[in-house]
């Protein structure tokens, strides 16, 4: 058999054409990756979790600057903005996530920043100035991460202030769409090896890529500032403390939500679609929503700039009591005040100056968290136990304004909702490695007991008319919601070391998300009753191995998840924004994940990741109560057909990445080429559902770093980057509204992802 030419020679030939000398063949070795997924520093290969981690270098090579950029890089993970709200991020892992974002409902994927749980999705599209690592834990994490980790958890870890020496860093990033980002960082030791302070400031702006021909700003503007101050203090030989203050200001505008294909039974809808998006068949009937991405549109309701202000305090304290016992305390406070405009279908139509949904929301959300951990290690037992306390208070006022076209009277709709939630949990996990079994078997038992108290109040009594002036609008009411929940979640894992570099594991994990109510509920009984918690049990088998003398790393997992009382938002009123939550009896998710990394040479590394999901519901339909002015009680049953698959759960998703590093005489050359593929997916679980078509996005970076400016003067880095290089048009949101007719038709709303973007980064660093 003829031997294949090594792939590194292809790169060597290309770099030779650029005048870069070819590298000699070397025996490559993959670097060990360390994570804190189980509350202690461990090799990623020793953690029985399907986990993907990105260090600072990887984040820069892939062009990841905020959490939304992470989405395409991890199969079976979906991260995107809530339709019409650019600063509200929805997280889905393995098809489990929060479909409708409200302050009265919790996320299904736990987001952590330096160990502090972030309880609200509002304002999570923030910038970070000095990332050290991001960890993505796929699958339920009900023991160590708690009640709202049914899908998994994402850990964002920033770099602490370093008392080891002075550090100065300044970077400038410019690109198309008038992109500009500046990051300034100063790390100053206050006392060598004892205390240090670090200050970091980032300002970022980018024009929108859809021109607004109407009133207000363009669509999709991004304007953000972030400041952080860190203090590190090493207290003697056994204690240390880290305090961080963070402040973020986000003044984005909404992306364009453009009208797409309508229900063919609608009639008048055809003319509207032709006006905005001429995607019709030979009979003039609108086809599936796959129209062109608009570059300009008219907003008759003024397109306003949002204003999200975030203040966060984090205090981490660790005390090494002795060689076998460590105590940790993690304290966090976070305050979010946000004005956002949620505009859906804000473009010109034959209806005149009318926006189907134009919500102006004022949201305040304050949270406090306290976690205590006690970690122990002996020759045969490794364990962690702890207590967790969480409380939040939230308020949201929604003002839905309509200028009214001819025949529709002007009016105002104001809804006010407040929430107050508390959660208390005790958790523990222990891993036993019996010496009688040659220290190759490891048995892990974990458990968490949670108590949740949830309260909410809603006042929609200042509603002057229903949607579009309809006389049968939402009945005005004032109502209170007050429910308590408790849950015991056990977990059990067995893993076996095949040899020093490979292991297999099997695990059973449970997790739950508390119940709640809907801030857009259509009637008092629904609001007061709310919805039940959802539960998930996961069965998983995995393999982790470093092969071929540590040149190949292969991690794989197969899983089955049993989902009960799935929380689903349904339209129960006269328009799609009037919604309640119902529980769907059962759903199941089967799948696998594979992550392969190969060090071809010391200079060339290839990574391939693949995810597969097969999901579905037990029942084919759901039935619930909705408004009906003709019914004696004002309510009647509605039935919706469920989709075959869960929302945002692609059957196939994959990423491929090639990294090349070459030492030059004046610095280090690095290059990255990456591609992300995602299969077609549902955007909702009720028919008719919108779909996000399959897509393949290409990205690349090329950099020269460690350019020395002379002894003691620091170094430079120059980086070229590009995303979506083929300028593919793809949806990040596509909503088909079922059960609602406006003038005889049903509508869909599509939101497109970014077009081709590219730029240049110049960075100076002094160490």
Q: Which domains does the chain have, with CATH numbers?
A: 19-613+646-766 (2.40.170.20)
Q: How far is residue 306 from each of residues 122, 296, 414, measured CA to CA in Å?
A: 12, 20, 19
Regarding predicted confidence, which is higher, 414 or 732?
732
Q: How far is residue 76 from each of residues 112, 593, 651, measured CA to CA in Å?
A: 19, 8, 9
**Cβ count near 378 (within 10 Å):** 11
User: Please, which pLDDT band fits residue 282 given cuts at 50, 70 and 90?
Assistant: very low
pLDDT of residue 298: 75
Tell me: pLDDT of 659 over 90: yes
Name the nearest CA neighbour of 703 among 715, 688, 721, 689: 721
User: Please, which pLDDT band fits residue 661 given cuts at 50, 70 and 90?
Assistant: very high
User: In the block, which residue shows the tokens 């940790």?
Assistant: 328
**What is the average per-residue pLDDT within 726-744?**
69
Residue 142's SS3 state is: coil
User: Please, which pLDDT band fits residue 84 given cuts at 50, 70 and 90?
Assistant: low
pLDDT of residue 344: 56
How far from chain centre, in Å, is Cα 34? Answer: 22
**Of 297-301, 525-529, 543-547, the least confident:** 297-301
The whole-chain average pLDDT of the chain stands at 84
E strands, 411-477, where?
Answer: 411-432, 441-463
Q: Are 673 and 720 in contact (CB under 8 A)?
A: no
pLDDT of residue 261: 52
Residue 583 tokens, joined: 């529980």
Handedness of CA 499, 508, 381, 51 (dihedral sign): positive
**What is the average per-residue pLDDT within 695-711?**
94
Tell me: pLDDT of 72 over 90: no
Percent of the chain residues past pLDDT 90, beyond the cut = 62
Residue 312 tokens, joined: 């966060």
E strands, 524-602, where?
Answer: 534-547, 552-571, 579-599
Tell me: pLDDT of 617 over 50: yes
pLDDT of residue 269: 33
List alpha helices for 496-565, DSSP H.
524-529
**Cβ count near 265 (within 10 Å):** 11
**What is the average per-residue pLDDT within 729-756?**
70
CA angle 698, 701, 704 (to 5 degrees): 170
**Of 86-100, 319-333, 383-397, the least confident:** 86-100
CA distance 282 to 248: 51
Pairing between β-strand 552-571 and β-strand 579-599 as defined by DSSP bridges: antiparallel
**What is the average per-residue pLDDT within 649-656?**
96
User: Please, which pLDDT band fits residue 225 given cuts at 50, 70 and 90?
Assistant: very high
Tens digit of each residue's pLDDT (9 = 90 or more) over 475-513? 788 999 999 999 999 999 999 999 999 999 999 999 999
CA distance 367 to 391: 6
User: Where is 735: in which H helix or E strand?
Assistant: strand 731-736
N-terminal to C-terminal alpha carbon distance within the chain: 52
Residue 254 tokens, joined: 């909404």
Q: Are 584 and 534 in contact (CB under 8 A)?
A: no
**Of 86-90, 315-319, 326-330, 522-526, the least confident:** 86-90
User: Please, which pLDDT band fits residue 748 given cuts at 50, 70 and 90?
Assistant: low
Give the residues across from 93 on adjacent strands: 77, 96
Pairing between β-strand 296-297 and β-strand 211-212 as defined by DSSP bridges: parallel
Residue 369 tokens, joined: 């968290």
CA distance 160 to 498: 37
Residue 45's SS3 state is: helix
Give the residues across from 212 on adjacent strands: 297
Tens digit of each residue's pLDDT (9 = 90 or more) over 138-147? 999 999 998 8
pLDDT of residue 670: 95
CA angle 194, 195, 200 (to 5 degrees): 145
CA angle 470, 474, 476 (to 5 degrees): 125
Give the residues across from 261 on adjacent strands: none
Q: Are 610 and 653 in contact (CB under 8 A)?
A: yes
Percent of the chain residues past pLDDT 70, beyond the cut = 84
Write the DSSP assignment of 181-213 as a string of letters: EEEEEEEEEEETTTEEEEEEEEEEEE--SBEES
pLDDT of residue 694: 92
CA angle 150, 155, 156 (to 5 degrees): 145
pLDDT of residue 479: 94
**What is the average per-residue pLDDT within 100-108?**
89
Q: Are 552 and 543 in contact (CB under 8 A)?
A: no
Residue 729's SS3 state is: coil
Pairing between β-strand 131-138 and β-strand 357-377 as defined by DSSP bridges: unpaired
Cβ-based burial of 24 (10 A; exposed 0-12, middle 13-18, buried ≥19): exposed
pLDDT of residue 389: 98
Q: Are 138 and 593 in contact (CB under 8 A)?
A: yes
Q: How far is residue 346 from each of residues 64, 209, 735, measured CA to CA in Å?
A: 30, 16, 14
17-23: long-range contacts at Cβ-Cβ below 8 A with a sequence spacing of 24 or more? 20/662, 20/664, 20/669, 23/601, 23/602, 23/603, 23/662
pTM above 0.85, yes or no: yes
Residue 275's SS3 state is: helix
CA distance 30 to 35: 16
Q: Give the CA dihedral 92, 96, 100, 104, nearest 10 degrees.
A: -110
Tens digit of each residue's pLDDT (9 = 90 or more) over 439-457? 999 999 999 999 999 999 9
Q: Give the CA dihedral 658, 663, 667, 670, nearest 10 degrees.
A: 0
CA distance 516 to 532: 7
Cβ contacts of 718 within 8 Å, gap of 6 or more: 703, 704, 705, 707, 760, 761, 762, 763
**What is the average per-residue pLDDT within 24-45?**
83
Q: Are 144 and 38 in contact (CB under 8 A)?
A: yes
pLDDT of residue 443: 98
How far from chain centre, in Å, is Cα 419? Answer: 23
Tell me: pLDDT of 626 over 60: yes
User: Please, which pLDDT band fits residue 356 given cuts at 50, 70 and 90?
Assistant: very low
User: Please, which pLDDT band fits residue 101 given cuts at 50, 70 and 90?
Assistant: confident
**Cβ count near 191 (within 10 Å):** 10
Residue 273's SS3 state is: helix
CA distance 226 to 156: 15
**What is the average per-residue pLDDT within 242-250?**
95
Query: Most distant CA pair in the chain: distance in Å?
Result: 85
Tell me: pLDDT of 743 over 50: no
CA distance 34 to 55: 10
Give the residues across from 300 on adjacent strands: none
pLDDT of residue 634: 81
């Amino acid at each position: 058999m003829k031997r294949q030419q090594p792939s590194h020679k292809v790169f060597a030939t290309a770099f030779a054409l650029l005048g870069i000398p070819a590298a000699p063949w070397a025996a490559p070795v993959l670097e060990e990756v360390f994570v804190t997924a189980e509350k202690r520093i461990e090799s990623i290969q020793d953690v029985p979790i399907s986990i993907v981690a990105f260090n600072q270098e990887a984040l820069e090579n892939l062009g990841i600057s905020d959490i939304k950029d992470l989405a395409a890089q991890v199969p079976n993970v979906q991260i995107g903005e809530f339709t019409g709200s650019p600063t509200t991020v929805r997280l889905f892992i393995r098809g489990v996530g929060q479909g409708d974002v409200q302050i009265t409902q919790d996320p299904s994927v736990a987001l952590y920043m330096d160990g502090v749980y972030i309880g609200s999705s509002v304002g999570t599209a923030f910038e970070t100035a000095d990332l050290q690592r991001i960890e993505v834990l796929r699958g339920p994490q009900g023991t160590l991460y708690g009640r709202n980790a049914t899908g998994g958890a994402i850990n964002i870890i920033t770099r602490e202030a370093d008392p080891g020496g002075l550090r100065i860093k300044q970077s400038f990033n410019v690109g198309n769409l008038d992109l500009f980002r500046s990051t300034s960082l100063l790390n100053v030791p206050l006392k060598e090896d004892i205390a240090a302070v670090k200050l970091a400031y980032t300002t970022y702006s980018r024009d929108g890529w859809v021109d607004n021909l109407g009133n207000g700003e363009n669509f999709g503007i991004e304007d953000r500032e972030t400041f952080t101050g860190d203090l590190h203090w090493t207290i003697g030989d056994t204690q240390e403390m880290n305090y961080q203050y963070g402040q973020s200001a986000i003044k984005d505008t909404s992306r364009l939500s453009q009208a797409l294909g309508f229900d063919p039974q609608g009639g008048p809808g055809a003319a509207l679609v032709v006006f905005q998006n001429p995607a019709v068949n030979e009979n003039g009937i609108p086809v599936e929503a796959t129209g062109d991405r608009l570059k300009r549109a008219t907003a008759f309701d003024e397109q306003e700039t949002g204003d999200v202000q975030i203040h966060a305090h984090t205090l981490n304290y660790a005390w090494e009591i002795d060689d076998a016992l460590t105590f940790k305390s993690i304290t966090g406070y976070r305050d979010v005040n946000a004005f956002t405009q949620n505009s859906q279908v804000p473009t010109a139509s034959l209806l005149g100056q009318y926006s189907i949904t134009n919500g102006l929301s004022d949201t305040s959300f304050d949270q406090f968290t306290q976690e205590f951990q006690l970690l122990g290690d002996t020759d045969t037992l490794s364990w962690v136990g702890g207590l967790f306390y969480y409380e939040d208070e939230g308020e949201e006022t929604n003002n839905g304004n309509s200028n009214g076209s001819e025949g529709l009277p002007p009016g105002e709709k104001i809804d006010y909702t407040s929430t107050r939630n508390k959660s208390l949990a005790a958790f523990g996990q222990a891993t036993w490695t019996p010496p009688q079994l040659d220290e190759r078997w490891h048995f892990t038992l974990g458990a968490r007991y949670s108590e949740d108290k949830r309260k909410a109040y809603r006042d929609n009594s200042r509603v002057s008319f229903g949607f579009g002036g309809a006389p049968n609008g939402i009945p005005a009411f004032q109502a209170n919601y007050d429910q308590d929940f408790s849950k015991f979640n056990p977990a059990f894992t067995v893993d076996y070391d095949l040899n020093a570099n490979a292991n297999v594991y099997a695990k059973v994990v449970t997790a739950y998300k508390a119940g709640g109510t809907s801030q857009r509920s259509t009637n008092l009984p629904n609001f007061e009753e709310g919805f039940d918690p959802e539960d998930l049990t996961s069965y998983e088998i995995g393999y982790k191995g470093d092969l071929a003398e540590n040149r190949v790393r292969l991690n794989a997992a197969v899983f089955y998840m049993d989902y009960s009382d799935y929380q689903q938002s349904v339209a129960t009123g006269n328009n799609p924004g009037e919604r309640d939550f119902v529980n769907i009896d059962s759903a199941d998710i089967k799948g696998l994940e594979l992550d392969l990394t190969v060090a071809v040479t010391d200079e060339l590394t290839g990574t391939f990741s693949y995810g597969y999901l097969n999901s579905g519901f037990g029942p084919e339909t759901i039935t619930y109560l909705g408004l009906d002015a003709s019914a004696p009680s004002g309510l009647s049953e509605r039935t919706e057909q469920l989709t075959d698959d869960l929302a945002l759960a692609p059957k196939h998703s994959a990423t491929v990445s090639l990294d090349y590093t070459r030492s030059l005489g004046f610095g280090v050359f690095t290059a990255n080429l990456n591609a992300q593929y995602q299969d077609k997916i549902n955007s909702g679980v009720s028919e008719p559902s919108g779909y996000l078509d399959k897509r393949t996005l290409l990205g690349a970076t090329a950099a020269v770093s460690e350019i020395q400016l002379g002894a003691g003067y620091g170094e430079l880095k120059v980086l070229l980057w590009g995303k979506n290089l083929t300028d593919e048009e793809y949806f990040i949101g596509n909503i088909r509204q079922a059960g609602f007719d406006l003038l005889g038709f049903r509508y869909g709303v599509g939101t497109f992802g970014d077009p081709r973007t590219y730029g240049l980064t110049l960075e100076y660093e002094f160490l």
